[in-house]
Chains A and B, each alone.
Chain A
């Protein structure tokens, strides 16, 4: 293998799933080779930018690319939505980070993705399928127009329960309703994997707890380095403090203290608001398109399902 030529993290493909969700395929042959389901990367879009964690939603070893699916929620992710085009490059892309998900070949696995977690669930579902499991998928979106990757999921799931809040596609209801349905239909589920907003993961873990189904969640605390150096990503798991970036991000959902996680996600809300407002103003100065209606920040406690 030649020396890692990693000075350039070129975006080779982009797809917009909706107003808020977009896919970036980035060239990084070494990372494509090393990536395992459940791992994440740290991205810096530009030299003044923040280091933000994003889960690897896919990787193509042959093409030498990794895929990120990003939901525009704040300054960085919205700025990337405007600035990341095919042919442009990210300032920094480090990873893969985190302990790969443990795919142990359980007989029947429930794979649940909601909100930010739909895309990152895909490589996990595929890995379980490849390991010989029967995969029951549950994915949730706000409405039909926001649905993406349905075909990809159907390709790796033996059964897919698609939920929309308004019932415009699939089952009407929240991801948790889909989970309850799956639990009723499949008394023999050996394991569940859940990725999404903390409230959703908490609700799903509560749903599987009475049945004693092993439930793995992928936590998403605020991170800086992603290498175990700052402790900003600490979460409480079974009463112990763990660092999500090096000890996780996968943990036992029945042990994670979600209230603690949610409280810590709100650490920088005033600063996030300030950064976004300042950025939106500078955008408005450049082009007249008003951004006011998008200025409202998502509430981390709210159950977001929109794609």
Chain B
């Protein structure tokens, strides 16, 4: 390896980051094709040269699943692309997805020392390049699997469920993933739009899970079709993982929210992405297309909603956020893309009422909002400066569609239908190994932590898988116990355990 010969320094590496080829902003804001087209081979090789191969790499610590980042970049440099893929998939099953949607600036790339003087190594883009190459070449990391007779049920097919399913399948378990929607993928499918994460990429990664022997059952609402207790006691699952996400959308509770034209970002995005309303009437599901859209909030979900509305044909799309740009929780790249595409941002602005066209403001359609200007005060619990309304600053803002993207809460169905212990806000309570209050039932992802990121959900799925392996006695590190909870492991009848 050439790079090993002489020690690289920030001064000797290529100074400029390889640019990401992108669709032109004017053109792309009217189509659903992917915005970032992906590195070409020469871009990837150039960018790989910029890595210093730090002996104690900060980036690995910054990645929630600790990918051996210098290890895979070194293999790209050596043109051992398959090797790079194997290094990544040793810890992350979904490189083509994470490379696209991770908030790298606050994870791996945020701590890369190259970033102190230059732009940090584009780890995410390299990871995506490897993932895309694997899809194009049909590589998969399916090892030889020795069945062990255990059955594991996974509830929810988002990144947490997928990651847990992969690890349990690799360990030799018979794995079934249950999904309430008609297609697997979770937020990746229904929430994140195609221009950021094409469906073909998600489907390819799901196909890899199928190759590991994972079975998907869609249209299955666990809790209502059968309960967690039934999975464990009647359906023969030795362990269950719950990764149902935090999909329940919040509203603000201001007057006028039931006006027609007011909807949650989840509704907008699900109609558009999963149900393909953007191809209405070829597809049957409609979506409200505003001429003047206001999206409230400034996270990833808000950016997606804004950019979807542009592509659906809105004339003007406005982002309304009560803090300033510096506090916006969206990925830097998304914010930047939205600005380029012509989204108008109204920082330090908050709606206080939604106005309708009918008398009395109850029935009818949205015609605008009453907003108030905000100013930043003292820092709050989150460390961000608390926004406070400026007296006498109210003004009217015309809009015909208003989208709320102000966060989500725990989905209530599992709590309604089982005795699993929830915390005060309705999220599932777990211990450090992600075991829940029900024996044999583990949980992870947004349903435990609240809305987080794709890679954190995957990390949780993998962590739960380690917990499940220990629970089932499959952990090679801890000598396989003969009895667990007083029951002979050979009996495989943990359903008998009653911890409640």
B182 touches A92 (CB 8 A): yes
Indicate whether A236 reaches chain B with its CB closer than 8 angstroms: yes
Instruction: Specify which of B219, B226, B288 is in contact with A34 (CB 8 Å cutoff).
Output: B226
| CB-defined contacts of B419 to chain A, threshold 8 Å | none
Picked from B182, B226, B251, B282, the residue with its CB within 8 Å of the CB of A231 is B251
Closest to B236 in A: A1
* Docked CA distance A31–B411 (Å): 21
Check B26 for interface membership: any CB of A closer than 8 A: no
In the complex, the answer to whether A50 meets B363 with C-beta atoms within 8 Å is: no
Instruction: Determine whether B412 belongs to the interface, using a CB cutoff of 8 Å to chain A.
Output: yes
Name which of A229, A230, A263, A266 has the most chain B CB atoms within 10 A of its CB: A229
Shortest distance in angstroms between A77's beta carbon and chain B's nearest beta carbon?
Answer: 11
A259 interfacial contact with B, CB 8 Å: yes
Q: Is the CB of A263 within 8 A of B267?
A: no
Which chain B residues (347-364) contact chain A, with CB distance < 8 Å? 362-364
Contact of B251 with A271 in the complex, beta carbons under 8 Å? no
- Cβ of B316 within 8 Å of any chain A Cβ, yes or no, is no
Residues of B within 8 A of A266 (CB): 260
Q: Are A271's CB and B286's CB within 8 A?
A: yes
User: In the bound complex, how far is the Cα of B416 from the Cα of A226, in angstroms?
Assistant: 15
Chain B residue nearest in CB terms to A74: B284
Minimum C-beta distance from B259 to chain A (A): 8
A300 to chain B, nearest CB (A): 12
| Chain A residue contacts of B226, Cβ below 8 A | 4, 30, 34
State whether A30 touches B258 (Cβ < 8 A). no
Please, which residues of chain A bring their CB within 8 A of the CB of B395? Answer: none
Contact (A246, B416) CB under 8 Å given A3-B235, A236-B258 = yes
Query: Which residue of chain B lies nearest to A31 when distances are taken between CB atoms in the complex?
Result: B225
The stretch of A161-169, A192-200, A272-280 that contacts the partner chain:
A272-280
A231-B249, A241-B253 given; A49·B284 CB < 8 A: yes
User: Which residue of the partner chain A has the closest CB to B417?
Assistant: A99
CB-nearest residue of chain B to A3: B176
Closest chain A residue to B283 by CB distance?
Answer: A48
Tell me the complex Cα distance, A256–B258, Å: 13
Query: Interface size (A, Cβ < 8 Å)?
Result: 51
CB pair B281 A274 closer than 8 Å? yes
Residues of B within 8 A of A230 (CB): 249, 263-264, 266-267, 270-271
Contact string against B for A residues 248-288, beta-carbon threshold 8 Å, 1 for contact and 0 otherwise: 00000000000110111011100110110010000000000
Contact A228 B413, CB 8 Å, known A259-B363, A263-B362, A263-B363? yes
Asked if A51 is at the interface (CB within 8 A of a chain B CB), the reply is: yes
CA of A1 to CA of B235 in the docked complex: distance in angstroms? 5
Cα distance A229–B337 when bound, in Å?
27
Residues from chain B with a CB closer than 8 A to the CB of A31 are: 225
A44 lies within 8 A of chain B by Cβ: yes
Question: Are A96 and B225 interface neighbours, CB within 8 A?
Answer: yes
Distance in Å: Cβ of A182 to nearest Cβ of chain B: 31
Task: State the total of A-B contacts with C-beta under 8 angstroms.
Answer: 144
Is B203 an interface residue when CB atoms closer than 8 A count as contact? no
A262: B residues at CB distance < 8 A: 363
Q: With A92-B182, A263-B260, A271-B280 given, is the CB distance from A227 to B219 under 8 Å?
A: no
Interface residue? A75 (CB, 8 A): yes
- Asked if B218 CB lies within 8 Å of chain A CBs, one says yes
In the complex, the chain B residue whose C-beta lies closest to that of A232 is: B267
Nearest CB to that of B408 among chain A residues? A229
Asked if B180 and A92 sit within 8 Å, CB to CB, the answer is no
Per the bound structure, the CA–CA distance linking A293 and B230 in Å amounts to: 50
A234 to B249, CA, bound (A): 11
Closest to B261 in A: A267
B259-293 interface (Cβ within 8 A of A): 259-260, 263-264, 266-267, 270-271, 275-276, 280-286, 288
When A34-B224, A225-B181, A263-B260 are in contact, do A92 and B218 touch as well, CB less than 8 Å? yes
Interface set of B (CB-CB < 8 Å, partner A): 176, 180-182, 190, 215, 217-221, 224-226, 230, 234-236, 247-249, 251, 253, 257-260, 263-264, 266-267, 270-271, 275-276, 280-286, 288, 362-364, 411-413, 416
21 contacts between A and B (CB under 8 A): A1-B230, A1-B235, A4-B217, A6-B217, A39-B224, A48-B276, A50-B275, A50-B284, A93-B219, A224-B267, A224-B275, A225-B270, A227-B413, A228-B413, A229-B411, A230-B267, A236-B258, A241-B257, A259-B362, A267-B260, A274-B281
Q: Supply 12 further A-B pairs (C-beta < 8 A) apart from A95-B225, A228-B413.
A: A3-B176, A92-B182, A92-B218, A97-B224, A229-B266, A230-B249, A230-B267, A231-B263, A232-B263, A241-B258, A246-B411, A259-B362
- What 5 A-B pairs have minimum CB-CB distances, sorted nearest first? A271-B286, A229-B247, A263-B363, A230-B267, A50-B284
